[in-house]
Structure formats: structure tokens, C-alpha cells
Amino acid sequence: MSQRDGLRYRSRLMQLASDRSPETHPLTWRLHDDGRVVELADYVNRDGYRTVRDTLNHRSRQDVIKAMKEANVRGRGGAGFSAGLKWSLTLQGDDMPRGYLVCNADEMEPGTFKDRLLMEQQPHLLIEGMILAGYANNSRLGYIFLRGEYVESARVLTRALAEARENGWLGDNIAGSGFDFDIILHTGAGRYICGEETALINSLEGKRANPRAKPPFPGQSGAWGKPTVVNNVETLCNAPAVMQHGADWFQQLSGGRTDDGGTKLYGASGLVNRPGLWELPIGTKGQEILDLAGGLRNGRKLKAWLPGGASTGFLLPEHLDLPLDFDTVGEQGSRLGTGLITVVTEDQSMVSLMRNLEQFFARESCGWCTPCRDGLPWSVKLLQALERGEGEQGDVELLDKLAADCGPGLTFCAHAPGAAMPLETALKHFRHEFEQGVRHSQGVAHADPIPVGDL
């Protein structure tokens, strides 16, 4: 990416609110309006690393875990699992071996670009969150497992890590507390399967990125057989504010929209007028996000939308008034995922869109289990035939079966269920479009699809 393209990217990545403050926008209040990196001096001048100094010297590891559990910081990478609960499941005690903290910065989910904002514009917030998480879990070392294509993120993080070491925020005896902790940046080879934490750990160790059998879980035996915690970038970036302001404050940030607490980096992409990111109270409605994105381009009408990346289920226009939180979206047969909306308009072919998505999932399968290794490519072939109008009787029903065979609990990890969810919901809501691709089928053919690349 050229410098000019990078500046253009930053200018549209986030529409910043003028009233941002530490009390309402804990993730973004320090960001510069022009997209410049928040350097160490600026970060420290605005309370940066304050919670590291106070927590490491005056609070116990259990205090940190308790605060994160009470704040109910749910994983912002897609699963929505309580970070505090995950930390409490790690082997604890002074006689336990010191393990590892791994930040999942592999952000390979199509339609997702939120972690990139935090890493490229506010790297020290991530570093501070990792120090707190490392302290809570008695980790000896932290790793940032970064998507290899994020070259600019790697440059910014490398510099920030060096600044933190030079100023005593990483290394031995941090802030005079006696706690030793450092962070290593590790760039991955660019595989979607590394979003699964045990596949990520295998890749980190230099092995093939296959998921591991569980138990044992990483909290008991992870990287190199030591207790290991894996958290997403945005999840870790919430820790400093929770420790500074408290769990009750974090819960109140949602403003009563939902039982979940905190804010969320929401976004919108696809055929909207202003693709971007916004830090909003968790439970914000989809319609509010689309309004911030300026609505659909050229007066198009909304047909469906993905609430949080390609591995979530399609929702309909009538679902836009529901709060986007983990449980509410789950009740509609989808997942909040990463919280970045992708819109599908009336002039886009659902068959073409699903062929594009399933090609991605089939390519990114590690090939470990049969439903994923064989089922996903099979679904791609069926979708290609339907897209050409050459499908055969029974193909749509076969797609139903392939999606069901890839469901939760039937495969080694969540890759295949993630691929099945958009397919299942597309068949549920737009079955007629798939049936129109069967040879000799009756009915009106759908409109010529616009290029999938415009998604």
C-alpha cells in the first residue's frame, strides 16, 4: 500500500465523533482525527500505562480476573466467550509453570477490519492490555500473532514494542513491580484456520495449522505444553479501561440497550456510501450503523445483511431494529461475530454471493475432517452449476444436506459450521433464487448479478 493509499484508507476507516471521551469511548478517545499513530509520549500523557503501574503494584492477579469477569468482557473476536472466565480457567498458583499469552491478530474474517484500526493507530493500548492479561495469567511471554498481509500493522507494532521496552513498560521488573513480561510479534502465513485458537498455537510452534483435540484446553496445555490464553485484539484493548474505571462503569456503557456491557467497534461494508468503523454502545441497532454509513449506494434496496463477517448467518431488513448483541443476534439464528455488517442489495445474486463465500471457506479448510474437506468443495461445485443455470433436480436439497452435515458438533473445529451458517440461512430466506438455477425450472429468472467483487 502506498503512502497516499494508506492516508486515504485511514481517512475512511473511521468516522470519529466529536464528543469522544474516556468515559464513553474507551477504545478510541485517544485517536487523532487525521489517522496518525498515537505515539508513546502522547499515550502516556493521556493516562497511558497508568493501569499497568497501579495494577501490578497494588492489585493481585485474582483482582484483575474478578474485575474482568464482573465486567463481562465478552470476546470481541466472534465467539463472545467471557474473557474473565477464560482467564479464571487457566492454571493458577505460584507453583504452576508460567505460560503464554497470545493475541489473535490474524483478522482473516471476510468483511472485518476493526483490529487493524487499533493496531495501526493505537498500538500501545493493545500492549497495555496484554501486560494486564499476562499479569492476570502469570504469563512469562506474550505473542502477537499477526496476519501476514498486515504489513503496516507490523511496522507500527514493531516500533511501539521497541518504545515500550526502552521505557520500561516491557521486560524485567515492569514499573518496579517485580513482574517480568515481554511481547514478541509473530507474523503468520495468512490462513483463515488460524482464527481457531489451537490451530493458531500449532502455527506459532512452527507446525501445520491444524486444530487440536480438546481436552486438554489451552488454559491447561497450550503453546509448548504450557498454560496459554488466546484473546482477540479488541478484547485485550478493553482491559485497561476496565481496571481503571471498574466493572460497574463498563456495564453501564451499553446504556441499557442490552445485558452485555461495554462498547463495540461496529462497522459496515459492501454497497454503502461510507464504509467505516464506529465505537458504539454494545446493543446498538443495525439501522443506526447503516445510517452512520450513509445508507446504500445509489438508492439501492437492502435484501439481506451479515451481522459480523462471512461466517455469520444472513439477517433480513426487518431485523435491523434489533440490538446487535451476542444473545439477541443468536436468537435470530445468526451470530454477532465481529460486529461488522456486510450489506447485500436487491440487485445482487444470492447464488453468486454464496458461491464466492463457499469458495473461500473451501480453500481455507485445513482438510483435517471429512465434512469440511469434501463437503465444502462439493457445495462449491453445486453452487457453480446453479449460478450457470445448469443445476439438476435435487441439487438444492443436496446443499441443504451438505450444510447440515457441516453443523456444530459434527466437525473437528468451528470452520465448517461457520461456512454452513450463511449457506443455511441463504437457502432458508432465498430458496427461490437457488431453485431458479435448476435446468428446466419454471419461474422468472433473477436479475443479472452485479460483480461479487463489489461486495
Grade residue 6 by pLDDT with cuts at 50, 70 and 90: very low
- Average pLDDT of the segment spanning 239-264: 92
The pLDDT of residue 9? 42
Assess whether pLDDT exceeds 60 at residue 266: yes
**If we measure between CA atoms, which residue out of 55, 195, 220 comes closest to residue 130?**
55
Task: For residue 162, count other CB atoms closer than 10 A to its CB.
Answer: 12
Mean pLDDT of the chain: 90
Grade residue 444 by pLDDT with cuts at 50, 70 and 90: very low
Distance (Å, rounded) from C-alpha 199 to C-alpha 210?
Answer: 5
Per the model's pLDDT, the better-predicted residue between 181 and 98 turns out to be: 181
**Helices 370-387 and 395-405 meet at what angle, rounded to 10?**
150
User: Does domain 350-454 bear CATH number 1.20.1440.230?
Assistant: yes
Distance (Å, rounded) from C-alpha 281 to C-alpha 255?
Answer: 7
Q: Could you tell me the three cell numbers for 300?
A: 439501492
Location of C-alpha cell 447464488: 351
Of 357-371, 386-400, 432-446, least confident by mean pLDDT is 432-446
pLDDT, one tens digit per residue, over 49-79 is 999 999 999 999 999 999 999 999 999 988 8
How far, rounded to the nearest angstrom, does the alpha carbon of residue 285 sit from its chain's CA centroid? Answer: 19
Grade residue 445 by pLDDT with cuts at 50, 70 and 90: very low
The pLDDT of residue 4? 39
- Coil, helix or strand for 285? strand
Assess whether pLDDT exceeds 50 at residue 396: yes
pLDDT, one tens digit per residue, over 97-121 is 789 999 999 999 988 999 999 999 9
Location of C-alpha cell 455469520: 312
Q: Could you tell me the three cell numbers for 66?
A: 474478578
Assess whether pLDDT exceeds 60 at residue 446: no
Assess whether pLDDT exceeds 60 at residue 2: no
Domain ranges of the chain: 3-251, 253-345, 350-454
DSSP bridge partners of 277 = 14, 267
Q: State phi, psi for 13 to the nearest 5 degrees.
A: -70, -35
pLDDT, one tens digit per residue, over 413-431 is 999 999 999 999 999 999 9
Residue 232: its H or E element: strand 228-232
Residue 343: its H or E element: strand 340-345
- Residue 235's identity, in one-letter code, is T
Distance (Å, rounded) from C-alpha 118 to C-alpha 127?
Answer: 11
**If we measure between CA atoms, which residue out of 146, 192, 187, 209 comes closest to residue 360?**
192
pLDDT, one tens digit per residue, over 267-285 is 999 999 999 999 999 999 9
**If we measure between CA atoms, which residue out of 218, 220, 226, 196 comes closest to residue 208?**
196
What are the residues whose beta carbons fall under 8 Å from the beta carbon of 311, sequence distance 6 or more?
Answer: 78, 109, 335, 337, 361, 418, 419, 421, 422
The pLDDT of residue 97? 78
Task: For residue 390, count other CB atoms closer than 10 A to its CB.
Answer: 12
Tell me the CATH architecture of domain 253-345: Roll (3.10)
The pLDDT of residue 94? 66
- Fold match flag (3-251 vs 253-345): no
- Coil, helix or strand for 82? strand
Is 56 in contact with 231 (CB distance < 8 Å)? no
Assess whether pLDDT exceeds 50 at residue 246: yes
Is 116 in contact with 149 (CB distance < 8 Å)? no
Q: Could you tell me the three cell numbers for 259?
A: 445485558
pLDDT, one tens digit per residue, over 119-173 is 999 999 999 999 999 999 999 999 999 999 999 999 999 999 999 999 999 999 9
Sign (positive or negative) of CA dihedral 17, 18, 22, 28 = positive
Of 45-49, 113-117, 354-358, 442-446, least confident by mean pLDDT is 442-446
pLDDT, one tens digit per residue, over 335-346 is 999 999 999 999
Is 281 in contact with 255 (CB distance < 8 Å)? yes
The pLDDT of residue 3? 39
CATH of the domain spanning 3-251, picked from 3.30.9.10, 1.10.645.10, 3.40.50.300, 3.40.50.11540? 3.40.50.11540
Instruction: Render the burial of 135-146: b for 16+ CB within 10 Å, e for the rest.
Output: bbbbbebbbbbb
Location of C-alpha cell 507453583: 95
Sign (positive or negative) of CA dihedral 118, 123, 129, 130 = positive
Of 67-76, 192-201, 385-394, 446-455, least confident by mean pLDDT is 446-455
Counting every residue written for the chain, the total comes to 455
Residue 67: how many CA atoms within 13 Å on its side-chain side?
Answer: 23
Question: Please, is 90 exposed, middle or buried when counting C-beta atoms within 10 Å of its C-beta (0-12, 13-18, 19+)?
Answer: buried
pLDDT, one tens digit per residue, over 292-307 is 999 999 999 999 999 9
Whole-number percent of the chain with pLDDT over 70: 91
The pLDDT of residue 107? 92
Whole-number percent of the chain with pLDDT over 90: 80
The pLDDT of residue 439? 84
Q: Give the β-pairing of 276-281 and 263-269.
A: antiparallel
Residue 278: its H or E element: strand 276-281
